[in-house]
Chains A and B, each alone.
Chain A
Amino acid sequence: MREPGFTADGTWVGASVKRKEDPRLLTGRARFVDDIHLPRMLHAQFVRSSVAAGEITSVDLSRVRDVPGVVAAFTAADLDLGDITAVLDRPRSEFVPTAMPVLARDRVRFVGEPIAIVLAEDAYAVEDGLEAAEVTYRAGTPVLSEEQALAPGAPLVHDEAADNVLLDVSMFATEGIDDIFADAPCVVSVRATTGRQNALPLETRGVVASWDARAGQLLVQTCTQVPHVVRTVLAGCLGRPENTVRVVVPDMGGGFGIKCVVGREEIAVAAASLRVGRPVKWIEDRKDALTASFLAREQRYQARAAFDEAGRILALDADVLCDMGAYSCYPFSAGIEPLMASAEMPGVYRVPAYRVRGRAITTNKAPTAPYRGVSRPQYVMVMERLFERAARELGLGPVEIRRRNLITTFPYTGVNGITYDPGSYLESLNLAERVLTEEGWYERQRELAGQGRFLGIGYSCFNERTGYGSDAFAKRRMAVVPGFDISEIRMDTSGTVVATTGTMSHGQSHETTMAQIVADRLGLDLDHVFIQQGDTDRVAYGWGTFASRSITIGGSAVGLAAGRLGDKLLHIGAHLLRTRPDNVELSGGRVRKCDDHTRSLSYVDIAEVAYLKAHLLPKDVDPGLTATASFDGIGDGTFSNASHGVVVELHAGTGQVEILRYACVEDCGVAINPQVVEGQARGGIAQGIAGALFEQVTYDEQGEPSAASFIDYKVPTACEIPDISIHHLETPSAFTGNGAKGVGEGGTIGAPAAVLNAVNDALRPTGVELDDTPITPERVLGALEVRWTTR
């Protein structure tokens, strides 16, 4: 890791500078939603459905209103709000739009669905109020699995979605693909399921809504990754002009995707606050966060791949089914997971023929939202299992078969129509293998095998599309199309700058990394650059943070705006220094003459003229020091890539999977701040390991979620996550302002495949292969064939 401070060539970009956010976060001066206390503020919680499927026959809140401390309670009928409906511009045969009411009206579709909102003077009384609610149901038969959802005559979760299918797309279908499979010397298949997971930000969802009588505005302080999108939906549901709603985001403790969709609770709290004329706070408790928030990742793959004798893949055929739960999230819709998987599954490999069917089904479980990686952890896992299986069949080494199939010439346009910009697919795999080889893990494996112990080594190779622009997102055919970002930058009389970004850091250090970009463009000290985000009144309409778009798109926009401001500083400086515009440069917070460095003006000097002595400005320059720029993703975006190498030992007595070594070789182009990149990779890998080995949301036959606390939802702790070494390669992107590629999701994408391959490598002597996650100790022990039988 590079030392904090400037890089060797004197730039901020590329240096692991200390995070500007940390002093306040580490000294208790940060402000999260739950730190906001307003005069007369009420506390809200939700009466939630106790049945997974059924009709609401009555909601009686009269006893709720009698509970000491309770101030008000509202049903859907009381608040009369518009629905949240995510729409894709696709025919009904491919996509069925379904409405998510803010509060359930006559039907409930999962245990935990909000039915009524209760407001009370404190957080205790409001829960007393919830207990006094009387809701009666005509319970129906819940649909809880693929089998139940697709069974003929199955109960329908949404009447408009026949067969409980929300999205059904068949794509690519290369001509002659069936003949390729029929003639291929080697065909392998994988059936894999992945557990339903919770993205689990440390900070649960939350909102404080209040009416600003002076501004005539509803102020909504909420922890969202998408402030403007929340404003748009809020205004729509409330039937208000959008300018009368202001969304402000304070510090955030994570999001990982579940906060890039609009939550119905956010809307209900705002509406309730308007009704009672008092500020209202809602902080989601952990039980609700685990059971009634947005979940992700429950998928089933049935995949086949054909190979020639040399181990080159000839064709890929996949059926992807994603259990999206009860509702379609806004704005991405229930199509998000199957569309991602279908479009991108070939990944880093040269796959000449491809066919895929992707489906989203609806079930009576909590709904889903994008979660870090979105489908890529799953399809990468399936691809990597296909290659491992083919390697075994063909007698090839697992690394060798990958080498023969990785894309090595760029740009490469795949069978899926995506053009991949340059990356280090082969180089990263070679380095990951070298790291584990040089550390002696292969020798250790042979040694322990002799002692009857189970050591396994596994790899994964993947890329991550980042910087989706409007054109790339348009291919998803969402009714609203994210993509661009706008930055406005302003230097004031102190010579410091504030740059806005429409992206929203929920832990990714935008205040630092974007400031590094601006500081370089303007020759400024990092302490003189401030980033403004998360306020719809102060920041131009932006799409927020998801899909690893912040540095690639937001960072590029910030850089462009800073460049324009720099041009203005140069123009004014040259005029005041009485020289040609091409004879000045920006350096050290000054405009300097190139041919005489002793002649310069500080930015404070220039700002004084721009604001306080505007009569001295060149005639063609407006007063003030402001600039605006926008940036949109180019083409198919830019792909970061990585290879992970993992060593595990399986413990014979307990089935425990112990990760002995984790090496990540990542390439995100130019790393703006390598330490931040490593933090992203480590956190992502931890979440990937969580999916591979630990976490799963399950339901009983009635649709009751089984994990309402961390006792049962087994998020791994620091004790379960190994040390992770991170190695950087750098293939700069030609498509972004600084050559950076997005890096927010990579760790999560690569970890399940690498861990699963390592476990299966260790299981090799048993002949058992495990393709479903999470791989619990119980399943490992079963595979090790030491299961106790009393027979």
Chain B
Amino acid sequence: MKPPPFGYHRARDVAGATALVAELGEDAKFLAGGQSLIPMMNFRLARPAHLVDIARLGELSFLRRDDDRLHVGALTTHHEVESAPDRSVRGFEVVREAMRWIGHLPIRTRGTAGGSLAHGDATAEWCLLAVLLDAEIVTASPRGSRVIPAGEAFLGFFTTLLEPDELIVEVVFPKPAPHAALTEFAERRGDFAIVAAAVDLDVAGGRVTGGRVVLGGVAPVPLRVPAAEALLGAGERADAELFAACGRAAAEAVDPPDGPGPGADYRRSLVRALVARACEEALAR
């Protein structure tokens, strides 16, 4: 459990980091918090020839409000978000509360928002939140800057739209989601979720007028579930009956993997329970 030899480079700024990765070629990788990449290297499952360490790019570590928008710098750690004051996440409490589902405290003090998005795990909280809240992923590369809508960012199993030399600099959540929640189930606290469910409800006068449902653990990418969202758009009363129906609809709509590990039926059962639970929590928020 020791990595093969690799070159180590420390970047001074974003432009330098992307230029260096571009120059070093496809075997070079950005190193942020290292909570996924380094274990993979230790198991020799990932073998980058070069690491370009961006951890000291302080300008990428921030949590900022800009009118209705929430900007999270790519190097902001999960723990920094988890411990953010109320005023800076007002309306985006779901983002802060979701952080407690990520691994354990030591992991959260090192792992970063951008690193998690770039890794593209379909059960990762940041990926689910980004898709749920229509976030914009802002990147930099030697070819300039671009904005990737989160809904288009995740292509497949641990695969994103990012080019090898393209660095996430921030993720922007465009508008508050006061009635949103993320919940998960795993056998142990801190494990990767077997199934994760994130819900964002539009609530008016005790009725649900719209909503988004995103699932992790049922597909290679974070999955939006239009069949479940349709139930949330009918102006029904916001109650347990509606939320249970939403859970059932989501469970019916997905085609989760059948092992190894938890089977497809079990994942579907979890979808049913967790979507309903996330709806309850979103309403109560």
By beta carbon, the residue of chain B nearest A715 is B188
CA distance A264 to B262 in the complex (A): 36
Return A509 CB to nearest CB of chain B, in Å.
28
Which residues of chain B are within 8 angstroms of A778 by Cβ–Cβ distance? 262-263, 266
Return B35 CB to nearest CB of chain A, in Å.
13
Return A67 CB to nearest CB of chain B, in Å.
10
CA distance A714 to B188 in the complex (A): 7
Determine which of B1, B189, B262 lies in contact with A287 in the assembled complex, contact meaning CB atoms within 8 Å. B1
Are the CB atoms of A711 and B192 closer together than 8 Å? yes
Whether, in the assembled complex, B269 has its beta carbon less than 8 Å from a beta carbon of chain A, the answer is: yes
Whether, in the assembled complex, B206 has its beta carbon less than 8 Å from a beta carbon of chain A, the answer is: no
Q: How many residues of B contact A (CB 8 A)?
A: 32
Given A124-B5, A706-B260, residue A781 in contact with residue B187 (CB < 8 A): no
Within 8 A of B (CB), among A628-664: 652-656
Given A711-B192, A778-B266, A781-B266, residue A788 in contact with residue B251 (CB < 8 A): yes
CA distance A655 to B262 in the complex (A): 12
Return A308 CB to nearest CB of chain B, in Å.
42
Return A768 CB to nearest CB of chain B, in Å.
15
CA distance A654 to B272 in the complex (A): 9
CA distance A267 to B277 in the complex (A): 55
Chain B 246-285: CB-based contact to A (< 8 A → 1; otherwise 0): 0000011000000011110110111111101100000000
Determine which of A131, A286, A711 lies in contact with B191 in the assembled complex, contact meaning CB atoms within 8 Å. A711
Return B107 CB to nearest CB of chain A, in Å.
12
Which residues of chain A are within 8 angstroms of B277 by Cβ–Cβ distance? 653
Chain A 238-260: CB-based contact to B (< 8 A → 1; otherwise 0): 00000000000000000000000
Known pairs A123-B2, A778-B262, A790-B252; list 6 more (Cβ under 8 Å).
A124-B2, A287-B1, A653-B277, A654-B270, A711-B191, A790-B268
Determine which of B190, B268, B270, B274 lies in contact with A717 in the assembled complex, contact meaning CB atoms within 8 Å. B190
Return A283 CB to nearest CB of chain B, in Å.
10
Are the CB atoms of B188 and A720 closer together than 8 Å? yes
Are the CB atoms of B3 and A285 closer together than 8 Å? no
Interface residues of A (CB under 8 A from B): 123-124, 127-128, 131, 285-287, 652-656, 694, 700, 706, 708-709, 711-712, 714, 716-717, 719-720, 776-778, 781-782, 786-790
Are the CB atoms of B190 and A719 closer together than 8 Å? yes
Residue contacts A-B, CB under 8 angstroms, 29 given: A124-B3, A127-B2, A127-B4, A127-B44, A128-B4, A131-B44, A286-B1, A287-B1, A653-B274, A653-B277, A654-B269, A654-B273, A655-B266, A655-B269, A694-B187, A700-B260, A709-B39, A717-B189, A717-B190, A720-B189, A777-B185, A777-B187, A778-B262, A778-B263, A781-B266, A782-B266, A786-B269, A788-B272, A790-B268
Are the CB atoms of B273 and A717 closer together than 8 Å? no
Are the CB atoms of A787 and B187 closer together than 8 Å? no
- Residue among A124, A127, A656, A788 with max Cβ neighbours from chain B (10 Å): A788
CA distance A786 to B273 in the complex (A): 10
Which 7 residue pairs across A and B have the least CB separation, nearest first?
A653-B273, A719-B189, A285-B1, A788-B268, A778-B266, A788-B269, A124-B2
Which residues of chain B are within 8 angstroms of A128 by Cβ–Cβ distance? 4-5
Are the CB atoms of B188 and A781 closer together than 8 Å? no
CA distance A694 to B188 in the complex (A): 9
Return A50 CB to nearest CB of chain B, in Å.
14
Which residues of chain B are within 8 angstroms of A787 by Cβ–Cβ distance? 265-266, 269
Are the CB atoms of B185 and A656 closer together than 8 Å? yes
CA distance A706 to B263 in the complex (A): 16
Given A285-B1, A287-B1, residue A788 in contact with residue B265 (CB < 8 A): yes
Determine which of A654, A708, A716 lies in contact with B188 in the assembled complex, contact meaning CB atoms within 8 Å. A716
Chain B 171-192: CB-based contact to A (< 8 A → 1; otherwise 0): 0000000000000010111111
CA distance A711 to B186 in the complex (A): 11
Which residues of chain A are within 8 angstroms of B272 by Cβ–Cβ distance? 653, 788
CA distance A128 to B5 in the complex (A): 8
Whether, in the assembled complex, B43 has its beta carbon less than 8 Å from a beta carbon of chain A, the answer is: yes
By beta carbon, the residue of chain B nearest A43 is B2
Are the CB atoms of A287 and B43 closer together than 8 Å? yes
Which residues of chain B are within 8 angstroms of A786 by Cβ–Cβ distance? 269
CA distance A124 to B41 in the complex (A): 12
Which residues of chain A are within 8 angstroms of B44 by Cβ–Cβ distance? 127, 131
Return A710 CB to nearest CB of chain B, in Å.
9
- Residue among B5, B44, B269, B277 with max Cβ neighbours from chain A (10 Å): B269
Return A364 CB to nearest CB of chain B, in Å.
19
Which residues of chain B are within 8 angstroms of A777 by Cβ–Cβ distance? 185, 187, 266
- Residue among B5, B192, B273 with max Cβ neighbours from chain A (10 Å): B273
Return B46 CB to nearest CB of chain A, in Å.
14
Which residues of chain A are within 8 angstroms of B276 by Cβ–Cβ distance? 653
By beta carbon, the residue of chain A nearest B104 is A717
Within 8 A of A (CB), among B32-90: 39, 43-44
Are the CB atoms of A654 and B4 closer together than 8 Å? no
Which residues of chain A are within 8 angstroms of B1 by Cβ–Cβ distance? 127, 285-287
Which residues of chain B are within 8 angstroms of A654 by Cβ–Cβ distance? 185, 269-270, 273-274
Determine which of B3, B187, B188, B265 lies in contact with A789 in the assembled complex, contact meaning CB atoms within 8 Å. B265
By beta carbon, the residue of chain A nearest B187 is A714
Within 8 A of A (CB), among B1-36: 1-5
CA distance A653 to B1 in the complex (A): 38
By beta carbon, the residue of chain B nearest A69 is B5
- Residue among A124, A654, A655 with max Cβ neighbours from chain B (10 Å): A654
CA distance A523 to B11 in the complex (A): 67
Return A191 CB to nearest CB of chain B, in Å.
22
CA distance A776 to B269 in the complex (A): 14
CA distance A694 to B44 in the complex (A): 27
CA distance A708 to B252 in the complex (A): 34
Are the CB atoms of A131 and B187 closer together than 8 Å? no
Return A696 CB to nearest CB of chain B, in Å.
11
Return A131 CB to nearest CB of chain B, in Å.
7
CA distance A706 to B276 in the complex (A): 33
Which residues of chain A are within 8 angstroms of B271 by Cβ–Cβ distance? 788
CA distance A655 to B265 in the complex (A): 13
CA distance A719 to B191 in the complex (A): 11
Return B243 CB to nearest CB of chain A, in Å.
12
By beta carbon, the residue of chain B nearest A719 is B189
Are the CB atoms of A131 and B4 closer together than 8 Å? yes
Which residues of chain B are within 8 angstroms of A781 by Cβ–Cβ distance? 266, 269
- Residue among B3, B44, B265, B266 with max Cβ neighbours from chain A (10 Å): B266
Return A704 CB to nearest CB of chain B, in Å.
11
CA distance A475 to B82 in the complex (A): 60
CA distance A791 to B262 in the complex (A): 20
By beta carbon, the residue of chain B nearest A122 is B2
Return B38 CB to nearest CB of chain A, in Å.
13
Chain B 105-149: CB-based contact to A (< 8 A → 1; otherwise 0): 000000000000000000000000000000000000000000000
CA distance A714 to B262 in the complex (A): 13
By beta carbon, the residue of chain B nearest A128 is B4
Return A648 CB to nearest CB of chain B, in Å.
15
